[in-house]
């Protein structure tokens, strides 16, 4: 394997790394709830896309409620010293 002939200057390294950055994500506003949404995707908070409901948000609420009640059943003690 070949080895670089000389050390890259700090300026050359910084020039190379000038392209290593993230671009800001383009968002629009939801027509229904006016929250920022990614284009071509249903709204994460109200589930609307192109003026109609495409994701049932009440289903998500039910699921989180079920999870919350399930964790409350967990009442036994665990061993504190496991090292
Ligand atoms: Zn929305």
Domain regions of the chain by residue span: 25-71
> What is residue 69's predicted lDDT score, i.e. its pLDDT?
74
Q: What is the pLDDT of residues 36-56, one digit of tens each?
A: 999 999 998 899 999 889 888
Distance CA 10, CA 4 (A): 15
Q: From ligand 1's centre to the CA of 51, what distance in Å?
A: 10
CA nearest 55: which of 64, 46, 47, 63?
47
Residues in the chain: 83
How remote is the CA of residue 47 from the centroid of ligand 1, in Å?
A: 6
For residue 82, the model assigns a pLDDT of: 60
The pLDDT value given to residue 59: 76
18 pLDDT higher than 60: yes
Quote the ligand 1 centre to 70 CA distance (angstroms): 29
Whether pTM > 0.85 for this model: the answer is no
- The stretch 56-79 carries a mean pLDDT of 74
CA–centroid distance, 56 to ligand 1, in Å, is 12
* Dist. CA 21–CA 39, nearest whole Å: 22
Both tokens of residue 75? 């009442």
């Amino acid at each position: 394997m070949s080895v670089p002939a000389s050390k890259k200057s700090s300026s050359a390294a910084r020039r190379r790394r000038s392209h290593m950055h993230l671009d800001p994500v383009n968002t629009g506003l939801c027509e229904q709830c006016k929250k920022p949404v990614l284009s071509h995707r249903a709204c994460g908070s109200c589930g609307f896309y192109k003026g109609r409901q495409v994701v049932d948000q009440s289903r998500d609420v039910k699921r989180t409620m079920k999870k919350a009640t399930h964790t409350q059943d967990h009442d036994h003690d665990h061993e504190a010293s496991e090292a």
